[in-house]
């Protein structure tokens, strides 16, 4: 999981931001805007051929978290990615832009 190339992760994050549904979702009675479910991201990665199975999609999700390209909506420092509908994440668009600007 640690051998993901930064450019590949950035490209994946951009593709994923266009592919997964971003919308306001409630968690613990609080609305969170422009977020996606971990389970949707895993399904998208497998469906698009970004990952061969759910486990490898979770590994990619964790790599995106470690790279700071996505964040958990509640526990911003969390670095484990969950294939669950209650696990909500956001793209760190500022990070995506800054990350891309270094190329």
Residue 63 gets the label, from left (phi > 0), alpha (psi -120 to 50) or beta, of alpha
Length, in residues, of the chain: 103
DSSP state of 102: T
> Domains along the chain?
6-101 (1.10.10.10)
- Global pTM? 0.84
Quick: pLDDT tens for 10-54: 999 999 999 999 999 998 889 999 999 999 999 999 999 999 999
Question: What are the structure tokens assigned to 41, written together?
Answer: 């991201």
Quick: pLDDT tens for 58-92: 999 999 999 999 999 987 666 789 999 999 999 99
């Amino acid at each position: 999981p640690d051998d993901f190339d930064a450019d590949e992760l950035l490209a994946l994050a951009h593709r994923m931001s266009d592919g997964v549904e971003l919308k306001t979702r409630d968690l613990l009675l609080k609305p969170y805007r422009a977020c996606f479910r971990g389970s949707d991201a895993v399904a998208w990665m497998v469906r698009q051929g970004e990952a061969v199975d759910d486990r490898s999609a979770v590994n990619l999700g964790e790599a995106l978290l470690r790279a700071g390209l996505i964040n958990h909506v509640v526990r911003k420092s969390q670095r484990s990615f969950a294939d669950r509908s209650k696990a909500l994440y956001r793209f760190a668009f500022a990070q995506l832009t800054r990350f891309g600007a270094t190329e």
